[in-house]
């Protein structure tokens, strides 16, 4: 192994750790927010629909804010680079707002105001932190780096659960302080250790812009470029993200009523059906990243999504709690291939390093939109069929996503491009 490749591997491992640390801290706040803010709202609001509407506010904000902020960071030029300045401002502010939530819980207007502020700020820097990965990591190694970040993000579900179990009842304010402190500590580490002005992507961007008066590309121009491109690969990939995001969200959001309606389980028992599949996802994430780098990301994504659909079919055929758990585990292992690789393919399809932050935001738009529409779509399919066919309906939506990715793969085989897909 050459000295150059060894240095590159060390740099890749280093930045992967730092990004995973920031995402871990950030997602710890989000998961505790999702778990413990609804009970605070329920103290003031009797309608579950209104509670759900307030809790969904962050997703709506994310659709508009994340592409715009990703684009703003793409167009920023400082001695620290284009990402770190936003993290230095945004993360402490988000931590402070998150820490404030239990202190204002007695007043609904104040609680709603702080929730809005937290959702606004936290959505603002989410794509910026994640965009550090393609800034530093070369295209051929992005899958394994993103797998580590996804594993870190998945572990935060367990962190939120442990805080809820052991601390929230006796120490509600301290419980919110722990993820807030994690965010501040992770920021201190990354601010001290990372200057993205030294990243290959930032340096390439400076070279591209040398001799021009233009800094970056606007969101509108990026979207129009994707829509007007005769190749359609990028547009179809975003469609597949929406479709598979919808299938994934439906398989999580509707499992508790499925367990109660079809498997005759209690609410608590049904709520635990998805827990083992979280472990299956974590176990599968890194191996599928390595497979994707060896055999091609689009190919591995297609196989994994098909495995996801097969897991749903298993759960439909073996209509028992054990069958559901096994099916969900198989499905989660298959889904990891998409969750790890889809954004990497989108990054690698970007025409320039100048727009990777914007592309990170567009990935989130597709995924969040699917998360919003998927449960409603599958729920409508259940209304037309029955709860017993829920998992089969999820599989149908997933297979639509498979067909779209297969089309992207066919388009790329015809293309003379040297992109690492």
Instruction: Encode pLDDT of 252-303 as tens digits.
Output: 878 888 888 899 888 778 877 888 888 999 999 999 999 999 999 999 999 9
pLDDT digits (tens, 9 = 90+) for 408-421: 999 888 876 666 67
Average pLDDT, the chain: 88
Beta strands in 175-330 (DSSP E): none
- Fold of the domain spanning 219-414: Growth Hormone; Chain: A; (1.20.1250)
Q: How many CA atoms lie within 13 A of 370 on its CB side?
A: 27
Same fold, 3-209 and 219-414: yes
Taking a C-beta distance cutoff of 8 angstroms, is the pair 101, 58 a contact?
no
Decide if domain 3-209 falls under CATH 1.20.1250.20.
Answer: yes
Supply the Cα-derived Rg of the chain in whole angstroms: 21
Comparing CA positions, the residue from 189, 188, 180, 66 lying closest to residue 126 is: 66
Query: Looking at residue 161, what DSSP letter applies?
Result: H
For 28-57, letters b (16+ CB in 10 Å) and e give: bbbbbbebbbeebbeeebeeeeebeebbee
Q: What's this model's pTM, rounded to 2 decimal places? A: 0.88
Q: What is the pLDDT of residue 391?
A: 94
pLDDT tens digits in sequence order for the chain, 421 residues long: 455 566 677 778 889 999 999 999 998 898 888 878 888 888 898 876 688 778 878 888 888 899 999 999 998 888 888 999 999 999 999 999 999 999 999 999 999 999 999 999 999 988 898 999 999 998 888 999 999 999 998 888 778 778 877 888 888 889 899 999 999 999 999 999 888 888 888 888 888 877 666 666 788 889 999 999 888 999 999 999 999 999 998 888 788 888 888 998 887 788 778 888 889 999 999 999 999 999 999 999 999 999 999 999 999 999 999 999 999 999 999 999 999 999 999 999 998 888 999 999 999 999 989 888 888 888 889 888 889 999 999 999 999 999 999 999 998 888 766 666 7
Q: Phi and psi for 194 in degrees, rounded to 5? A: -120, 130
Domain chopping of the chain, boundaries: 3-209, 219-414
Nearest CA to 299 among 138, 395, 410?
Answer: 410
The angle, 0 to 180 degrees and rounded to 10, between the axes of the packed helices 321-349 and 356-384 is 150
């Amino acid at each position: 192994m050459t000295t150059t490749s060894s240095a590159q591997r060390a740099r890749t491992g280093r930045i992967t750790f730092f990004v995973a640390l920031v995402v871990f801290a950030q997602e710890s706040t989000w998961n505790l927010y999702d778990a413990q803010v609804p009970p605070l709202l329920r103290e003031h609001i009797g309608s579950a629909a209104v509670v759900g509407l307030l809790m969904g506010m962050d997703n709506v904000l994310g659709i508009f804010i994340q592409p715009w902020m990703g684009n703003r960071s793409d167009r920023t030029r400082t001695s620290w680079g284009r990402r770190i300045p936003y993290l230095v401002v945004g993360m402490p502010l988000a931590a402070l707002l998150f820490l404030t939530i239990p202190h204002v819980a007695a007043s609904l207007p104040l609680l709603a105001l702080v929730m809005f502020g937290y959702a606004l700020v936290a959505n603002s820097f989410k794509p910026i932190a994640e965009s550090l990965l393609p800034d530093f990591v070369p295209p051929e190694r992005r899958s394994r780096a993103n797998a580590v970040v996804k594993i870190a993000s998945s572990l935060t579900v367990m962190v939120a659960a442990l805080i809820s179990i052991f601390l929230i009842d006796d120490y509600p304010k301290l419980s919110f302080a722990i993820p807030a402190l994690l965010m501040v500590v992770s920021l201190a580490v990354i601010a001290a250790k990372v200057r993205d002005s030294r990243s290959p992507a930032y340096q390439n961007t400076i070279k591209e812009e040398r001799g021009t008066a233009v800094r970056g590309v606007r969101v509108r121009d990026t979207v129009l470029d994707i829509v007007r491109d005769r190749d359609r690969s990028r547009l179809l990939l975003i469609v597949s993200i929406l479709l598979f995001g919808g299938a994934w969200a439906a398989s999580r959001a509707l499992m508790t009523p499925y367990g109660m309606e079809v498997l005759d389980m209690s609410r608590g028992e049904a709520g635990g059906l998805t827990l083992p599949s979280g472990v299956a996802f974590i176990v599968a994430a890194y191996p599928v990243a390595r497979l994707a780098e060896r055999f091609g990301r689009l190919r591995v994504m297609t196989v994994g999504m098909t495995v996801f659909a097969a897991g749903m079919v298993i759960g439909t055929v073996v209509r028992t709690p054990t069958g559901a758990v096994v099916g969900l585990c198989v499905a989660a292992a298959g889904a990891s291939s998409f969750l790890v690789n889809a954004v990497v393919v989108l990054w690698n399809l970007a025409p320039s390093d100048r727009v990777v932050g914007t592309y990170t935001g567009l990935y989130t738009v597709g995924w969040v939109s699917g998360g919003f529409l998927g449960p409603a779509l599958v729920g409508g399919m259940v209304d037309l069929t029955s709860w017993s066919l829920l998992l089969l309906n999820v599989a149908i939506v997933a297979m639509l996503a498979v067909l779209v990715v297969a089309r992207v793969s066919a388009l790329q085989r015809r293309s003379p491009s040297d992109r690492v897909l």
